Amino acid sequence: MSGGRLAGKVCLITGAGSGMGAEATVRFAREGALVAACDMNLEAARRVAQAAEAAGGKAIAVAMNVSREADVAEGVRAAVKAYGKIDVLYNNAGIFPSDDRSVTDTEEKVWDNVLSVNVKGVYLVCKHGIPELLAVGGGSIINVASFVALVGCSVPQDAYTASKGAVIALTKSLAVQYGPRGIRSNAICPGPIETPLLTAWLFKEPAEKAKRLNRIPMGRFGKPEDIVNMALYLASDESRWTNGAALVVDGGITSNYF
């Protein structure tokens, strides 16, 4: 679509094959963005890109494992080759394995895998994507963190929590480094969102589901669009003076004492 809040902006979205990434791909395309839908599952990325095209937008599918530098570098090149530039880096890809628990009972390989995807992936996309943003005079970096980076949890997922805390810290560092050069960097901290990442295990455990749901003042888990609405603002020129923020979209869970 030629009009819309993101008209003409080229947006690279990681983890685009499902959940919030899929929602963002279609929504951004509807708002006029030219989207590079990146996912390690290329077929899933293709389905999402086709959905974006069917909605009247523009999108290409890109194979990318964000924990592998060669994949990320090639994915950035593919986006630039297709569209001529990149304006927005949307670091959405992340993992949340069920065997990530406390530091005392999480296997080293689980820890390493979570940090590799959730933190190293952001580093690599920024490493290869920031030069493209600089080439067009600036842009927007959107990093998906989590509410668990802001509060402790009696049902820990310590690798995930540590990774998302690192994402917030990195976001603030990028905001200071590159703000003077026209790049704004912000993090979104979602509460529990109904995506395959969460529902694959949590919704199979009624007690665990109820335990988390009872903490949310709004009385429901978030929907992918709840987060994408914030991302749309951050990708658009409406957020031109928003930089270095960790924006909490969690239904009030981090405000709930009892």
CATH architecture classification, 10-195+223-241: 3-Layer(aba) Sandwich (3.40)
Whether the CB-CB separation of 251 and 193 falls below 8 Å is answered with: no
Whether residue 1 is predicted with pLDDT greater than 60 in this model: the reply is: no
Residues with a known catalytic role: 160
Alpha-helical segments (H) within the chain: 19-30, 42-54, 69-83, 108-115, 121-135, 158-178, 196-202, 206-213, 224-235
53-89 tens-digit pLDDT: 999 999 999 999 999 999 999 999 999 999 999 999 9
pLDDT at residue 95 in the model: 95
Which residue, chain included where needed, has tokens 């903490």? 215
Torsion, Cα 176 233 165 69, to 10 degrees, reads: -80
pLDDT at residue 200 in the model: 67
Distance CA 165, CA 115 (A): 11
